[in-house]
Amino acid sequence: MNRTLRSLLVSACALFALGLAMSASAGDAAAGKAKYDMFCASCHGPEGKGDGPVAVAINPPPRDFSEGAFKFDTDEDGSAGTDADLRNVIANGAAKYGGNQMMAPWGGTMSAADLDNVVAFIHSLKQ
C-alpha cells in the first residue's frame, strides 16, 4: 500500500470515529422538547417540575427535572442519572430498576435519536 493511500484511509477512519462519537452523545434538546410535550409533560410538568396534571395521583411522584437529581443507576457504574441511565429508564421503564411502574417503558414509542434528544432536553431543564 503506498503512503498516500494509507494516510487517506487513516483520515477516513478518524472521520468515521469522530462521527460515531458525535452521534453517540449530544442529542438535540429542541427536538426532544417536542416529544417531551407529547409524551412526558402530563406527569413531569411543562417545565419538568414533576407537577403535570396526572402527577397528583402518583406516589412516588414523577421526578422534578429542575433539581437535576436522579435515582436509578441502571448500568451500576456507581453514578445515577448519567445519559445512559436516563436513556435506560425512559426506554425500559422504572419498574425494571425497582421504581414506580407509572414511569412506563417508552422504547417502543421512541427511536434511539428521540431518546438522545429527550435526554438532552431533560438536562436543559435543570435550574
Residues that bind ligand HEC (CB under 6 A): 39-40, 42-44, 54, 58, 60-63, 70-72, 80-81, 85-86, 89-90, 94, 99-100, 102-103, 106, 118, 122
43, 54 contact by CB (below 8 A): yes
Q: For the purposes of burial, counting CB atoms within 10 Å of the CB of 43, is it exposed (0-12), middle (13-18) or buried (19 or more)? A: buried
The cell numbers describing 71, all together, are: 435515582
Nearest distance from C-beta of residue 65 to ligand HEC, angstroms: 7
Nearest distance from C-beta of residue 24 to ligand HEC, angstroms: 19
Nearest distance from C-beta of residue 124 to ligand HEC, angstroms: 13
CB of 7 or CB of 109, closer to ligand HEC: 109
Whole-number Cα distances in Å, 84 to 4, 92, 127: 39, 12, 21
Beta-carbon contacts of residue 96 (< 8 Å; ≥ 6 apart): 105
- Spatial distance between the Cα atoms of 120 and 56, rounded to a whole number of angstroms: 26
Nearest distance from C-beta of residue 86 to ligand HEC, angstroms: 5
CB of 14 or CB of 69, closer to ligand HEC: 69
